């Protein structure tokens, strides 16, 4: 008896399922390309053991603890670290709480990822529940002590060809340096994410800019010097293997100010006394500047807009950022991105990948834009939409206008190392399910579906991220 | 020959249908829990006969007459009561018009509900049309004269365990009192819906507030007195069996003003000279106050936002409110509900059920919010979306992020007593269809689906509404 | 071997497919009613040969060249005419580029339309690709030289019963006159589209108004004279067979100004110094005026709102309008159309057909409005949504609230003569697929589905457009 069925996520219909299964057979063992995510480079630099099952699978995973929290389980009882340093939950107790509430994940992607992980990484083939919580805990804890569960071995076992982390311009990339120095052959590359020196609302923003100047050896007293500092750090990231940048903004607004206005705005921003409107305009201006630098240096540019961060004041004050309390909001693209696209959208040297948390934008705005501008590509379903239904809706709403070839394959976007193969497996299955339906409805020939399955799994992502 | 097929609304696919049918078999005869609706408590207090088929099935049902009106049938000809008191359509003629246009309802939920009612309540097994209009009329009219069609008998026949009505704070609940006094065992409970004393645009608003003060024995000259009056009426509703409140607002805006600002705003509002912005802010403030009172007294709180009332001026002036001319509008939740959620969203004593007429909010805003805040739950698809496709979209767009357990079962929300079993039947079938697909795609085990089918039908609604 | 499968676009499920195929068999050969489109009346007046395959199938089709452009193919290399008159691409080379990139259209409606055209019009039964590009070119080029490919013969071969073009009020309709004078029996009718004399942003707007005055013999120095000029041209269009008007606006805003305000606004607008807000208000006012004229003269009114025109500055400056760079934007209807609907929405003499590029409006706003107002009808999925998935979403999101009978059949809306039968074929197949699913889920009886398939294909469109 196993948790996982070989045909899971394929259409129930026999004809469509047959095609989906055939396509999946061809792509399931292809290497994993992970061009965007949030794993910790330190893991691969130090290659230490993960401490315990709760610290591995529950405490770092906001998908998991946000659901438990929504049903009245306190974050304290789950051992989520508090800002004042308190945290003393027994990992075995945390695990029992989790197991007791595992039914809450029915129908969610978290459930699919965890079941996959339990069966494939730990050989656990009976569904988790309160009755076998301790058994699960023992098996996982024991496994974590073995050499087979060290980060580098997992990386290789998962058949990861390349894995990108996400890093600030202030980062010295010491762990990336250590990985290289170690002689280990796994390809772990950084991604240039400058939010902390672009978003004036970021904690320590003014100090961050000063630090940026120091680390880059540029005078950040002027806008030109600030831009040069960023240019300098991008070059450094490139030498360390980076092929992409990433930007997390509240909106997709872009701007194209003239030199004088941009300089004046920059001075207001670094003065520490700017208005929210000025801060937003500065972010908008910087997206266009970053696109210009990407044209110069070839780094692929990513934009993740539309998340209202730290929505829950109480949770934020006690536990800090990234605690499952960021919320999507309606996001406009057509007018917002016009300044950037007017300036660089026709330039094929730029690859500008846009994501969304507002699925309505796919058919209305993003697919029409990506189906026209040479520089623009559609990122895969992000975050809450990185799910079976979300991925299917993406294909259904974007493909007819943008085609498959203005998309860029899958991003796992995860902090959870063990979930990487599970997430790529779901993505491959859903793509095959969609293609299977198109073939069974005679909208696509089977030989084309085969080629597409390969392209969606490997080729498009390599091309978009220059990997 | 019958109108209804045993497998209606189940997936066409054989494998998914098999599971759906099996699940449905287990839930179809469970009692009906109806925690939110608009039936008239007077029916159960007086237990009189319904006058005629048109008065029962057409004139009170805006789903029915709005569709006929959209195709050029006048409201006068349907006997919809006019504000000036005119109304003299012959019910048999009204019925003939209805039958002649019955084809307009093809593909609509109204058709599903009516077919169910005709076959199951009246034994009519041939589809309604112009040819058998009179036959239908006779059968229904004759049935209405029998004791079997008195409200209390229907209530019992429908296996209704509890039915909530919707009532203003100014209501003495005399009919609820009469039901209790009668010794009849049917559980009919009121719901506290204070729009008429919170929404300054409501006809007679200022007088309503005065009346509220009188009925509650509080001095509504101050904000504090006004709040106490509401608190007092809530307590009275509780003694009469109420377990919930309900709020119909134009938006989901909430506010959290300090005491001085709230008092000043209240004085502006009761002066009768407030601006639309002040009126909106007052409504926003009152949602947060009501959440606070729910924390105190345990009444579950419901919010139904986003309906633009009385869109059609001509119809409103001639026929008044609730004539099928209310229209949905885009509704934002993430920013709008932040003040209330910051104050009470983490408090598990509060159950705050939010509905929407803007389906795009499910995957973008409502499921992410409900999948995090302990107090927040998702109401079922409402009004235009209380339909086969609408319910399926709800499950497809909300489940992956909110899970099943942050939803609260089904609301029939109806004024039409006879449609209650039909509506619950559609909801049960669609839930089973969705679960059947998940099982056939191996995303859920069958034993879990069985448990879920029970939970969605009975357990979640009882828990959310404390019934 | 053929490109096209007889069951294409039908559901994969056997039961639903059986019904779909049966319904399709009944409607596939019904005449084509094309009440809205952009073919050139000159073709039918002069009945000349189309010059070459690229000029026929690629250069006029923005669906085709926008996709190629999005993948880095220059518009110059495709021979798209430039504003400065340059254009010297060899059509055979253009065709080769197209064939080489044909894989980009996988999963798009363009692919469905082209495959249909290749097989059914040219007998090409092997999929287009780089290998057979020249063979395709020869076959198509040779065919275009034959009499069978002259516009009038194609019109008859396609079984077109009536075809509407789109024309400005300044047009003398000389080609429509020539068609009539020729004695040819094909019914080609104009549509009154006054954007160029209503939208102040239109190039040459002020001169257009003057020209309108001259051609209509009215004094456009006053608002009244301007309205009379429009009334006059509408009457002329009617004498030439027009049954409809069409309006392309940035939003769905309508207004109902009093006479003085309207006159003053008109004077601002024709002064050439109006603000964007005034221009928008004028457009809004004119929609209501046009609805009033439609009540008078019986022309069916169409509104196509929500397209941000000429989004790509560089492409616009070099190649001009209609080059695949118009983008949809979020569009609100409930509040925007209230002034017009309050004035004329209850008048059954008006048929007001509204389209959208914002699919979220179907279930939220447009279906609720169309399911109530007698004058309002829903246009079919438009432009980017004129696709298999788009049409299916339309039926799924609009039918339950608006019913089938507040929709108006299909519009091909095309500039590409050869694509007309292909587009109608896709529409008929998808409607049958949807009906097939409803029948197989027992939500509709099969005899009703047969009637509906006929109505959706022919009867509803004839009624809505008075054809």
Query: Which of C 9-38 lie inside 8 A of A, CB atoms?
Result: 9-13
Residue positions counted in chain B: 467
Number of CB pairs, chain A paired with chain C, less than 8 A apart = 126
Per-residue pLDDT band at A1 (split at 50, 70, 90): low
Candidate from A346, A406, A444 with C-beta closest to C314: A346
The pLDDT assigned to C176 comes to 98
- Residue C41 and residue C175 in contact, taking contact as beta carbons nearer than 8 Å: yes
- Residue C341 and residue B312 in contact, taking contact as beta carbons nearer than 8 Å: yes
Report which of A212, C102, A389 is spatially closest to residue B441, judged by C-alpha positions: A389
Q: Does residue A251 belong to the interface with chain B, where contact is any CB pair within 8 Å?
A: no
How close C324 comes to chain B (CA, Å)? 27
How close C240 comes to chain A (CA, Å)? 36
The angle formed by the CA atoms of residues C397, B397 and A450, to the nearest 5 degrees, is 90
Query: Which of C 403-462 lie inside 8 A of B, CB atoms?
Result: 403-406, 437-438, 440-445, 448, 451-452
For B85-152, give the DSSP string: S-----HHHHHHHHHHTGGGGTTSHHHHHHHHHHHHHH---S---GGGHHHHHHHHHHHHHSGGGSHH
Residue A159 falls in which region: left (phi positive, over 0), alpha (psi -120 to 50) or beta = left
Inter-helix orientation angle C419-440/C388-402, to 10°: 50
Strand-pairing partners, residue C376, are C352
- d(C-alpha C212, C-alpha C225), whole Å: 10
Tokens coding A453: 């399955």
Q: What average pLDDT does the segment A292-309 reach?
A: 97
Q: What is the model's pTM?
A: 0.98
Tokens coding B161: 């365990």
Residue C420: how many other CB atoms lie within 10 Å: 22
Mutate to test the interface with B, among A2, A15, A70 (most CBs of B within 10 A): A70
Q: What average pLDDT does the segment B52-76 reach?
A: 96
- d(C-alpha A353, C-alpha A302), whole Å: 5
Question: B300: helix, coil or strand?
Answer: strand
Q: Does residue C87 belong to the interface with chain B, where contact is any CB pair within 8 Å?
A: no
In percent, how much of chain A has pLDDT > 90? 97
Touching partners of B (3+ C-beta pairs < 8 Å): A, C
- Residue A254 and residue A198 in contact, taking contact as beta carbons nearer than 8 Å: no
- d(C-alpha B217, C-alpha C423), whole Å: 70
**How buried is C409 (Cβ within 10 angstroms: 0-12 exposed, 13-18 middle, 19+ buried)?**
buried
Report which of C156, C131, C124, C139 is spatially closest to residue C53, judged by C-alpha positions: C139
Candidate from B335, B363, B365 with C-beta closest to A385: B363
Tokens coding C438: 């409803």
Rg (C-alpha) for chain C, rounded Å, is 22
Tokens coding B228: 């106490």
Mutate to test the interface with A, among B20, B360, B368 (most CBs of A within 10 A): B368
**How buried is B462 (Cβ within 10 angstroms: 0-12 exposed, 13-18 middle, 19+ buried)?**
middle
- Residue A408 and residue A460 in contact, taking contact as beta carbons nearer than 8 Å: yes
Cross-chain residue pair B308–C334, CB shorter than 8 Å? yes
For A215-246, give the DSSP string: HHT--TTSHHHHHHHHHHHHHHHHHTT--EEE
The CATH number of the structural domain formed by C49-149 is 1.10.2020.10
Cross-chain residue pair B70–C370, CB shorter than 8 Å? yes
Tokens coding C281: 């208000």
Cross-chain residue pair B443–A388, CB shorter than 8 Å? yes
Residue C101 falls in which region: left (phi positive, over 0), alpha (psi -120 to 50) or beta = alpha
Candidate from B364, B368, B400 with C-beta closest to A109: B400
**Which CATH number does the domain B51-148 belong to among 1.10.2020.10, 3.40.640.10, 3.30.428.10, 3.30.420.280?**
1.10.2020.10
Alpha helices in A2-51 (DSSP H): 14-27, 41-46
Closest chain A residue to B338, measured at CA: A311
- d(C-alpha C328, C-alpha C305), whole Å: 9
Candidate from A112, A308, A360 with C-beta closest to B443: A112
The pLDDT assigned to B188 comes to 98
B371 vs A contacts (CB less than 8 Å): 66-67, 70
- Residue B227 and residue B213 in contact, taking contact as beta carbons nearer than 8 Å: no
* C-alpha count within 13 angstroms, C-beta hemisphere, residue A27: 32
Fold assignment, A51-147: uronate isomerase, domain 2, chain A (1.10.2020)
Report which of A153, A161, A149 is spatially closest to residue A187, judged by C-alpha positions: A161
C327 vs A contacts (CB less than 8 Å): 334, 365, 368-369, 372
Question: C95: helix, coil or strand?
Answer: helix
Query: Which of C 93-112 lie inside 8 A of A, CB atoms?
Result: 103-109, 112
Report which of A332, A331, A370 is spatially closest to residue A351, judged by C-alpha positions: A370
Closest chain B residue to C333, measured at CA: B329
Report which of C354, C355, C352 is spatially closest to residue C374, judged by C-alpha positions: C352
Mean pLDDT in order along chain C per 10 residues (467 residues): 91 96 98 97 97 95 97 97 87 98 98 98 97 98 98 98 98 98 97 97 94 98 98 98 97 98 98 95 98 98 96 96 94 98 97 98 98 98 98 98 98 95 98 98 97 98 98
Q: What average pLDDT does the segment B315-333 reach?
A: 95
Element (H, E) at A162: strand A160-164
* Phi and psi at residue C307, to the nearest 5°: -100, 125
Report which of C343, C331, C354, C338 is spatially closest to residue C406, judged by C-alpha positions: C354
Question: C163: helix, coil or strand?
Answer: strand
Candidate from C72, C112, C327 with C-beta closest to A374: C72
Non-local CB neighbours of B156 within 8 Å, separated by 6+ positions: B186
Report which of A29, A27, A81 is spatially closest to residue A58, judged by C-alpha positions: A81
Candidate from C345, C372, C448 with C-beta closest to B66: C372
Which tens digits make up the pLDDT trace of A177-188? Answer: 999 999 999 999
Tokens coding A92: 């075995």
B314 vs C contacts (CB less than 8 Å): 342, 346
Report which of B285, C347, B371 is spatially closest to residue A325, judged by C-alpha positions: B371
Cross-chain residue pair B107–C396, CB shorter than 8 Å? no
Report which of C113, C152, C17, C75 is spatially closest to residue C421, judged by C-alpha positions: C113
Candidate from A345, A365, A443 with C-beta closest to C107: A443
Report which of A95, A37, A35 is spatially closest to residue A68, judged by C-alpha positions: A95
Which tens digits make up the pLDDT trace of A267-278? Answer: 999 998 999 999
Cross-chain residue pair C328–A334, CB shorter than 8 Å? yes
**How buried is C308 (Cβ within 10 angstroms: 0-12 exposed, 13-18 middle, 19+ buried)?**
middle
Cross-chain residue pair A437–C360, CB shorter than 8 Å? no
Instruction: Return the residue matching tokens 């409504």.
Output: B283
The angle formed by the CA atoms of residues B199, B201 and B205, to the nearest 5 degrees, is 70
For A288-336, give the secondary structure using H, E and C: HHHHHHHHHHCCEEEEEECEECCCCHHHHHHHCCCCCCCEECCCCCCCC
* Mean pLDDT estimate for chain B: 97
The domain covering A14-48+150-465 belongs, at the CATH homologous superfamily level, to Metal-dependent hydrolases (3.20.20.140)
For C186-224, give the DSSP string: --EE--B--GGGT-TTSTTHHHHHHHHHHHHT--TTSHH
Q: Does residue A66 belong to the interface with chain B, where contact is any CB pair within 8 Å?
A: yes
Number of CB pairs, chain A paired with chain B, less than 8 A apart = 126
Query: Which of A 305-344 lie inside 8 A of C, CB atoms?
Result: 330, 332, 334-335, 338, 341-342
Instruction: Return the residue matching tokens 């009703």.
Output: C448
- d(C-alpha A450, C-alpha A427), whole Å: 16
Mutate to test the interface with B, among A311, A360, A361, A434 (most CBs of B within 10 A): A311
Cross-chain residue pair B443–A385, CB shorter than 8 Å? no
**pLDDT over threshold 80, residue A102:** yes
Inter-helix orientation angle B133-145/B91-100, to 10°: 130
Candidate from C334, C341, C443 with C-beta closest to B107: C443
Which tens digits make up the pLDDT trace of A304-348? Answer: 999 999 999 999 999 999 999 999 999 999 999 999 999 999 999
The angle formed by the CA atoms of residues B284, B290 and B292, to the nearest 5 degrees, is 110
Touching partners of A (3+ C-beta pairs < 8 Å): B, C
Per-residue pLDDT band at B1 (split at 50, 70, 90): low
Tokens coding B61: 């049902």
**Picking from A58-72, A410-424, C74-88, which range would have the lowest pLDDT averaged per residue?**
C74-88
- d(C-alpha A420, C-alpha A428), whole Å: 12
How close B286 comes to chain A (CA, Å)? 20
Mutate to test the interface with C, among A251, A370, A441, A447 (most CBs of C within 10 A): A441
Non-local CB neighbours of B50 within 8 Å, separated by 6+ positions: B56, B144, B149
Cross-chain residue pair B403–A107, CB shorter than 8 Å? yes
Candidate from A16, A338, A364 with C-beta closest to C330: A364
DSSP class of residue C443? S
Cross-chain residue pair A67–B403, CB shorter than 8 Å? yes
Tokens coding B347: 């408090």
Which tens digits make up the pLDDT trace of B181-223? Answer: 999 999 999 999 999 999 999 989 999 999 999 999 999 999 9
Element (H, E) at C422: helix C419-440
Q: For chain A, which residues make up each domain, given as ranges?
A: 14-48+150-465, 51-147
Candidate from B7, B127, B390 with C-beta closest to C442: B7
The pLDDT assigned to C1 comes to 62
Query: Which of A 362-391 lie inside 8 A of C, CB atoms?
Result: 363-365, 367-374, 376
The domain covering C14-48+151-465 belongs, at the CATH homologous superfamily level, to Metal-dependent hydrolases (3.20.20.140)
- d(C-alpha B115, C-alpha B118), whole Å: 5
């Amino acid at each position: 008896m196993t948790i996982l069925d070989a045909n899971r996520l394929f259409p129930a219909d026999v004809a469509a399922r047959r095609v989906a299964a055939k396509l999946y057979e061809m792509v399931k063992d292809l290497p994993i390309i992970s061009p965007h995510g949030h794993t910790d480079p330190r893991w691969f630099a130090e290659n230490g053991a993960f401490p315990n099952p709760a610290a591995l699978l529950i405490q770092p995973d906001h998908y998991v603890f946000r659901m438990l929290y929504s049903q009245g389980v306190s974050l304290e009882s789950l051992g989520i670290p508090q800002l004042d340093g308190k945290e003393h939950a027994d990992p075995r107790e945390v695990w029992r709480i989790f197991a007791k509430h595992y039914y809450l994940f029915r129908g969610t992607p978290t459930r699919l990822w965890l079941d996959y992980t339990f069966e494939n990484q730990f050989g656990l083939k009976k569904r988790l529940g309160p009755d076998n919580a301790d058994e699960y805990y023992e098996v996982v804890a024991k496994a974590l002590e073995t050499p087979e569960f060290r980060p580098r071995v997992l990386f290789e076992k998962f058949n990861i060809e390349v894995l990108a982390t996400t890093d600030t311009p202030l980062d010295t990339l010491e762990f990336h340096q250590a990985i290289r120095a170690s002689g280990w052959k796994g390809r772990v590359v950084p991604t240039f994410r400058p939010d902390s020196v672009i978003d004036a609302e970021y904690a320590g923003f003014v100090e961050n800019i000063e630090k940026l100047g120091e680390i880059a050896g540029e005078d950040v007293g002027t806008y030109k010097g600030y831009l040069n500092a960023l240019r300098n750090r991008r070059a450094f990231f490139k030498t360390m293997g980076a092929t992409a940048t990433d930007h997390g903004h509240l909106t997709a607004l872009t701007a194209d100010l003239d030199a004088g206005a941009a300089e004046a705005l920059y001075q207001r921003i670094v003065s520490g006394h700017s208005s929210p409107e000025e801060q937003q305009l500065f972010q908008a201006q910087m997206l266009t500047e970053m696109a210009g630098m990407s044209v110069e240096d070839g780094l692929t540019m990513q934009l993740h807009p539309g998340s209202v961060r730290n929505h829950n004041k109480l949770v934020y004050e006690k536990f800090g950022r990234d605690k499952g309390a960021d919320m999507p909001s309606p996001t406009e693209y057509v007018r917002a991105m016009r300044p950037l696209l007017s300036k660089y959208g026709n330039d094929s040297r730029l690859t500008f990948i846009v994501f969304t948390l507002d699925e309505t934008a796919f058919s209305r705005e993003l697919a029409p834009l990506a189906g026209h501008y040479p520089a623009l590509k559609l990122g895969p379903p992000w975050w809450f939409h990185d799910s079976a239904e979300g991925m299917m809706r993406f294909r259904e709403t974007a493909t007819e206008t943008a085609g498959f070839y203005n998309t860029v394959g899958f991003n796992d976007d995860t902090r959870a190392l063990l979930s990487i193969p599970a997430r790529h497996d779901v993505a491959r299955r859903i793509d095959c399910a969609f293609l299977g339906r198109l073939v069974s409805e005679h909208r696509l020939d089977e030989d084309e579906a085969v080629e597409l399955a390969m392209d969606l799994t490997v080729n498009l992502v390599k091309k978009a991220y220059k990997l």
